[in-house]
Structure 1
């Protein structure tokens, strides 16, 4: 199914994840609040998925895999009954006559489906170069309260809260062993604010920054800092020791210039 030592790049390893950073994302598949799959590049996935389906719809007869040579755990493309998706084959569930029933993990979405060996296709070289889109995630700090597993009602509630929505996820922890991102999730349209202070080198930079209305996929509001835009200092002089503070402040006020004849 694939060339030796060739595999689709792993997004968990490839992406430079940073704790406390906020990522725009969609949840692509849910097992529970402790195990779900996210996609941070959903627009790129949509385009890639469209191109993949267009290509395999035209060329499926040339790329069909021989079930006798199917390599378990290898990268491939499977037909789900509705569309073509990249997948890893996990195991053979059953075998009837000349067909095998296979479990396939859809690497760009995080779900596992069952397909027949007639629905398995070779993966082209170009399809190997695009990293998988789905990454495993979990809610940070949440566990089932009464058992070791989440109840169907809890999973259903979580699904209704996050499914088919654009979300913001703040990365709280990275589990490199199980390749899982632990997140706090927020609705994209909620009044969740993240403030960043930006220093600038000159007036021209300030004028450009103040005009920004978006940064990457986020809408932003740029305004001068309420205090850091002013120069503060300390005046030290022994001559001022005998003067009251009110008198010093009064004499520091700007005075109108007089015209002398």
Structure 2
């Protein structure tokens, strides 16, 4: 097991970057993305590098399953909060940012940076994040639907959140980009792709939320600002505020189940995942 001095020396403070493609993206254009987690229509996480994300997940499973013994396990005392590591949960390995620890219960709260999921794991499930894997940008990107608020309420209803989640989760959607919040690395989306509802009809997701009275348009900047003040900050949600542990557990089980066979993944240079 690696101690704190070895860990700090090994990592050499290599920074982690986001897959927030400021230079590549343009407003009012369509981009294909997958929604990997939903807190509300105002706060969700998307992945824009879909093929690289899938391959990287497979690579993580193959790479870490090949390790033997406890040589690459971390002591919870080795990793400061807000530092990055790898965790194992529900049979799969993920890159994670540690956000809090309960040493009495031997539990750590983590945020899975490639999926936008907050969860907790036992301290026995912490692993070293290898240097080369720190060079791969974090795939999960913060996203919000522009100019949209909860219907006749100050907060999003559970029904509205669940309806939105069913429309978008784990689907490759065409997303129209409206604005980039560089300060907080958030993409503001004007609309999401059409989807098939139970009647077979096709509808725009933002329009459907409004038509079904789950949401209503925000008509001026003051309404948008008021909603922003009522919402948790993204960093609070990522730290586990109001996180539904049962939902997180289900999502993680679904991810593991969606990769029944990994196979051999041989990659010479992690730059294929982007930089």
User: Which TM class, normalised by the smaller chain length?
Assistant: 0.5 to 0.7
Aligned to 1:163: 169
Matches within 5 A, 1:1-261: 1=7, 3-12=11-20, 16-59=24-67, 61-92=70-101, 94-96=102-104, 100-183=106-189, 184-187=191-194
1:41-62 CA distances to partner (integer Å, 9 max, x unpaired)?
Answer: 1221111111111111121532
Higher helix share: 2
Q: C-alpha separation between the residues in 1 aligned to 2:21 and 2:13?
A: 17
Cα offset for 1:4? 3.7
How large is the RMSD of aligned CA atoms in angstroms? 2.1
Cα offset for 1:101? 0.9
TM-score normalised by structure 2 residue count? 0.64
Q: C-alpha separation between the residues in 2 aligned to 1:149 and 1:114?
A: 26
Cα offset for 1:68? 2.0
Q: C-alpha separation between the residues in 2 aligned to 1:170 and 1:14?
A: 15
Q: C-alpha separation between the residues in 2 aligned to 1:187 and 1:79?
A: 35
Q: C-alpha separation between the residues in 2 aligned to 1:154 and 1:188?
A: 17
Higher RCO (CA-CA < 8 Å; seq separation 6+): 2
Q: C-alpha separation between the residues in 1 aligned to 2:14 and 2:22?
A: 15
Q: C-alpha separation between the residues in 1 aligned to 2:195 and 2:29?
A: 15
Q: C-alpha separation between the residues in 1 aligned to 2:145 and 2:80?
A: 34
Q: 1:14 to 1:174 in 2, by over 3 A?
A: closer
Give the length in aligned residue pairs: 189
Does the CA-based 8 Å contact 1:7-1:75 persist in structure 2?
no
Larger Rg: 1
Q: Can you give the 5+ residue segments of structure 2 that lack an aligned partner in the other structure?
A: 1-6, 197-201, 205-275
Specify the SS of the correspondent of 2:174. strand
Does the CA-based 8 Å contact 2:167-2:195 persist in structure 1?
no
Q: Can you give the 5+ residue segments of structure 1 that lack an aligned partner in the other structure?
A: 193-261
Specify the SS of the correspondent of 2:85. strand
Specify the SS of the correspondent of 2:36. strand
1:127-153 CA distances to partner (integer Å, 9 max, x unpaired)?
Answer: 112111110001111111233320000
Specify the SS of the correspondent of 2:82. coil
Deviates more, 1:28-37 or 1:136-145: 136-145
Cα offset for 1:161? 1.0
Specify the SS of the correspondent of 1:76. strand
Specify the SS of the correspondent of 1:177. coil
TM-score normalised by structure 1 residue count? 0.67
Q: Which consecutive segments of 4 or more residues in structure 1 shift more than 2 A? A: 1-5, 13-17, 145-148, 187-192
